């Protein structure tokens, strides 16, 4: 069984559907509200688990009632909470999310809280799991200390590192050289490259620039256009699947989780990105972040139907 270590955020998401985003100073009446488990680290770990991998999640919450949302989620998902640390001084992370009813696009304001206080010591408590895993999956919604400690442990045991650089934070040049798979979305790729993602030529230039900085492979996710994959000797777009999107929150997380599971199971990078597109496509058909992650049976039947031309 594939084993994936995820170091990253747990956030409780408060999401409201609206037919129009409010302007500055304006109050708009929203529709449904959904409160549930989110956070890039936890969403990605949930995606991996639902796809059949063994997952070790290193994260941190406050000692407050929102911690229970996290713990209930891990219990329901049969995920270990061994490394779901408690911070006595900082609150559980919260995201305030607006979801546009017709486009399914979102606006997110995230306060990471306890996630900013995951320490190197916390990460080193899971050292044995780094030793025995297939892949280490990271984002930037938790402390840089935890990201750097996780990269150090991954390198110590010669494990590939997937970095989803979201949300954007300045990265030292040295870090790029330690990343095997760099998976920004278009906005993040613009931030790290200084280029505009307004043509396929520029997207490829961005990927070249990241490879020149030292990353092994680049996968730039392109929303409903799919994903651009660049390795040292290949470049291609893997188109997304056409689905009825209701909420794109966590699409990138579904993609990263699916990508890592596929890689850990031995698929090549292009095949892994295709599988990740399917995982992300199914995730956008449901409301919620962690709760919208598809399971392996859903994916297998989705891909079978695509092959048979049913979808
Ligand atoms: P988020 O921040 O909302 O989690 P993101 O901006 O990091 O997402 P995107 O590039 O928007 O990531 O999307 C990630 C992947 O999700 C895409 O590569 C694609 O496979 C899939 N995806 C996103 N939107 C759609 C859509 N409307 N229909 C089908 N697939 C989609
Ligand atoms: O990637 C989606 C996640 O980002 C949401 O679940 C929210 O918690 C934000 O942090």
Query: Could you identify the atom of ligand 2 that is nearest to the CA of residue 42?
Result: 6
pLDDT at 167 (0 to 100) = 97
- For 216-242, the DSSP string reads SEEEEE-GGG-EEEE-SS-EEEEPPPP
Q: How far is the CA of 153 from the centre of ligand 1 (A)?
A: 30
Ligand 2 proximal residues by C-beta, below 6 Å? 11, 13, 38-40, 43, 95, 108, 110, 141, 249-250, 252-253, 289
pLDDT at 300 (0 to 100) = 95
CB 200 within 8 A of CB 169: no
CB 42 within 8 A of CB 59: yes
pLDDT at 99 (0 to 100) = 93
Is 253 an active-site residue?
yes
The residue whose C-alpha atom lies closest to atom 12 belonging to ligand 1 is 252
Q: Work out the angle at residue 89's Cα, subtended by the Cα atoms of residues 85 and 90, and round it to the nearest 5 degrees.
A: 75
Query: Could you identify the atom of ligand 1 that is nearest to the CA of residue 104?
Result: 27
Instruction: Show the domains of the chain with their CATH numbers.
Output: 3-7+38-91+115-308 (3.40.1190.20)
pLDDT at 311 (0 to 100) = 67
Q: How far is the CA of 277 from the centre of ligand 1 (A)?
A: 8
Q: How far is the CA of 4 from the centre of ligand 2 (A)?
A: 20
Please state the separation of Cα 106 from the chain's center in Å: 15
Query: Could you identify the atom of ligand 2 that is nearest to the CA of residue 253?
Result: 1
Q: Which of 173, 253, 295, 298 is the catalytic position?
A: 253
pLDDT at 276 (0 to 100) = 98
Q: Work out the angle at residue 3's Cα, subtended by the Cα atoms of residues 280 and 69, and round it to the nearest 5 degrees.
A: 60
Please state the separation of Cα 257 from the chain's center in Å: 6
Q: What is the mean pLDDT of each run of 10 residues along the chain (311 residues)?
A: 97 96 94 95 98 98 97 98 98 96 92 98 98 98 98 98 98 96 98 96 97 97 97 92 94 98 97 97 96 97 86 67
Q: How far is the CA of 252 from the centre of ligand 1 (A)?
A: 5
Ligand 1 proximal residues by C-beta, below 6 Å? 166, 185, 221-224, 226-227, 240-241, 243, 245, 248-253, 255, 277, 280-281, 284
User: Beta strands of 172-224 (E only): which ranges?
Assistant: 181-182, 217-221
């Amino acid at each position: 069984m594939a084993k994936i270590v995820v170091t990253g955020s747990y956030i409780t998401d408060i999401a409201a559907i609206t037919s129009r985003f409010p302007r500055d100073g304006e109050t708009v009446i929203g529709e449904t509200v959904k409160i549930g488990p989110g956070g890039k680290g936890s969403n990605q770990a949930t995606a991996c688990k639902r796809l059949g991998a063994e997952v070790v999640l290193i994260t941190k919450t406050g000692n407050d009632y929102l911690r229970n949302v996290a713990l209930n989620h891990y219990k329901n998902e049969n995920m270990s909470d061994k490394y779901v640390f408690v911070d006595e001084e900082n609150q559980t992370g919260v995201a305030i999310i607006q979801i546009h009813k017709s486009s399914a696009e979102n606006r997110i304001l995230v306060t990471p809280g306890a996630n900013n206080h995951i320490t190197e010591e916390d990460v080193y408590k899971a050292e044995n799991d780094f030793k025995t895993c297939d892949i280490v999956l990271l984002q930037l919604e938790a402390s840089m200390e935890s990201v750097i400690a996780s990269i150090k442990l991954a390198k110590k045991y010669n494990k590939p590192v997937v970095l989803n650089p979201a949300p954007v934070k300045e990265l030292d040049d040295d870090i790029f050289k330690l990343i095997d798979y760099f998976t920004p979305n278009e906005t993040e790729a613009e931030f790290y490259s200084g280029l505009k993602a307004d043509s396929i030529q520029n997207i490829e230039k961005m990927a070249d620039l990241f490879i020149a900085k030292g990353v092994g492979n680049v996968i730039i996710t392109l929303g409903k256009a799919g994903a651009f994959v660049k390795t040292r000797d290949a470049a291609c777009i893997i188109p997304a699947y056409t689905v009825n999107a209701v909420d794109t929150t966590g699409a990138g997380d579904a993609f990263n989780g699916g990508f890592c599971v596929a890689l850990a199971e031995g698929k090549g990078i292009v095949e892994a990105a295709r599988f990740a597109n399917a995982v992300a496509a199914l995730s956008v058909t449901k409301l919620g972040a962690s709760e919208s992650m598809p399971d392996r049976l859903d994916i297998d039947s989705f891909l079978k139907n695509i092959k048979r031309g049913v979808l």
